[in-house]
Amino acid sequence: MRRWDLSQRLTALVIAFIVSVGALLMLRMQEPDIKAALLIVALATSTLVCALALPRWGLVDPFLVTLMNFLCSLGVLFQYSLNQTMGGLSHAWFYLAGMLALLVASFVIRLTHSFKRYRLALFIGAIALLGVTLTHPVFRYNGSSSWIPLRRSSEGVMLMSIQPSEFVKLILIVLLADILSDQTIGRAKRLLMSVCISIAFVGLICLQNDFGTALLYFLTALCLIYIGLSDIRILISGCAAGVGAALVIYRISTTVQDRVRVLIDPFKEAADKGFQLVQSLIAIANGGTTGMGLGLGRAGTIPLYDTDFVFSAICEQFGIVFGLCVMFIYVLMFMRGMRMAARATRRFHALLAAGCSSMLAVQTFVIIGGVIKMIPLTGVTLPFLSLGGSSMISCMAQIGILCGVHACVERDFARSRRAVEPIALREGLSV
């Protein structure tokens, strides 16, 4: 019963946060802001339902989902504070869509033990999704071709678009977890198949000129293959191959060269290539330890302040202490996911949980490390906080997968506890 208490307390904290931040937003103008009030009610209700009702039906893991709700609420309220007209509210709708994706993913994982029959369909679907943007220059935007535009303004600025590589993440995790857990095929074949799939995906994303996402795919695939085959040599040779590929890409791509040069001294090209990073660092410095305050700050001057650089904007308004706390929440979620992987009784579930948690962790690391000038900057989103429907739905679906695994693991535990055979008991205890 203790753990339930902890998640209950956590929920209360998150709701307190939502109400206080939302109230600040609501009262900052002369007239009370009705939209902000609605957001408070919606977010608080969703957090409560997720923490209290859904776990009873075995749909979600209350701890994980409450942490995620904290991040999502922060995202929705923060986006709303940056942009009252469209940004903040669209993030709220993405959150709703993501919630549905989460529940669907959780259901699917609970009902399915194997994706063996769908492997080929999933693979072809993924290749088609990734390949379609390469077929025509109409998909080219901002130097990479990773979006399918749905609506454009008259000046050709993309208003709404889908990023297929976000959804293919799910396919990559499911496909690799399924193949690597399949004991009916040989070890060498499993290795070969998963490596080929990973190379195909990573290669297509590199062709899209989206090296940040390619890095995510590569690292997640590496983690999964290493865990699935439990061989340290895979990890080492994978890292070596990755370094080699990075060097080749560095040679070919001028974008990557720019990013590395900017990392070394962003202020040298402060008005040009280093502009984004310089503004990001200035925002962090302006925020200082405790931040400038919600709604204050100059977030508007950071380019992409609502997507790639949302972490810098948060640091500007809330301070770096809060920024580090936000990062710590991601770490907690990652640890929770990896704990599920370690507790799982089936390989498939363990790999699914490990894949989703490491994908989210690597993504968080890559973008936070990029905006604070620790590693070269890449244009990936910060899960749950960056504005963007594809990213939001994909990340929440990954949490959904984790919740599904959690439900399966708990179910298996309950069964093994009920089992009276001493052998089964011993097996249950040894996990």
Partner 1 sequence: MKQLRKSVRVTTAILALMFISIGIYFPYSVYFFGGRWFARQYNPLIKYPGAVIRGDILDRKQTVLATTVDGNRAYAADESIRLAVAHVLGDEARNVKSGVETFMASYLLGLNTNFITKIAQAFSIEPRRGDDVFLTIDAELTAYIAGLFPSGAKGAAVMIDYSTGQIRALTSLPSFDLTRGASGLTGDVLLNRATGRLYAPGSVFKVITYAAALENIPNAAELEFMCTGFLPVENSTIVEAGGATHGLVDIRRAFELSCNTTFSALALDLNYNNIEKTARAFGFNEKTLFRDLMMEDGIYPVSHPDRGLDNLAQSGIGQGSVQTTPLQMALAACAIANGGVMMEPRLLWFAKQPNQGNFPLGSSIYKRVMSSQNAAIIKDAMIGAVQDGTASRFAIPGYVVGGKTGSAETSEDKSVPTHSWFIGFIDDMNHPLAICVLVENGGAGSLVAAPIAQQAMVEALRLGY
Q: Compute the CA torsion angle 168, 62, 11, 309 (nearest 10 deg).
A: -20
Query: Helices 34-48 and 2-27 meet at what angle, rounded to 10?
Result: 170
255 binds partner 1 (CB under 8 A): no
Return d(Cα 313, Cα 327) in angstroms, integer.
14
Residue from 313, 362, 392, 396 binding partner 1 (CB under 8 A): 362
Instruction: For residue 162, count CB atoms less than 10 angstroms from its CB and return exposed for 0-12, middle for 13-18, buried for 19 or more.
Output: middle
Name the helix (H) or strand (E) containing 316.
helix 310-318
384 binds partner 1 (CB under 8 A): no
Taking residues 123 to 152 in sequence order and writing x for each that binds partner 1 by CB under 8 A, - otherwise, the string is: ------------------------------
221 binds partner 1 (CB under 8 A): no
Piece of 124-132, 208-216, 271-279, 380-388 that binds partner 1 (CB under 8 A):
271-279
Q: How far is the CB of 63 from partner 1 (least distance, A)?
A: 17
Alpha carbon distance, N-terminus to C-terminus of the chain: 21
Return d(Cα 331, Cα 357) in angstroms, integer.
10
288 binds partner 1 (CB under 8 A): yes
Residue from 369, 410, 412, 428 binding partner 1 (CB under 8 A): 369
Q: Which residues of 179-203 are buried (b: 16+ CB within 10 A; e: fewer)?
A: bbbbeeeeeeebbebbbebbeebbe
216 binds partner 1 (CB under 8 A): no
Residue from 19, 347, 410, 416 binding partner 1 (CB under 8 A): 347
Q: How far is the CB of 275 from partner 1 (least distance, A)?
A: 8
How many residues interact with partner 1 (rule CB under 8 A)?
Answer: 47
167 binds partner 1 (CB under 8 A): no
372 binds partner 1 (CB under 8 A): yes
Q: How far is the CB of 81 from partner 1 (least distance, A)?
A: 17
How many Cα atoms are found within 13 Å in the side-chain-facing hemisphere of 211? 20
Name the helix (H) or strand (E) containing 159.
strand 158-162
Which residues of the chain form contacts with partner 1 (CB under 8 A)? 223, 226-228, 230, 232, 235, 267, 270-271, 278-279, 281-282, 284-286, 288, 290, 298, 301, 320, 323-324, 327-328, 330-331, 334-335, 338, 341-342, 345, 347, 350, 354, 358, 361-362, 365, 368-369, 372-374, 431
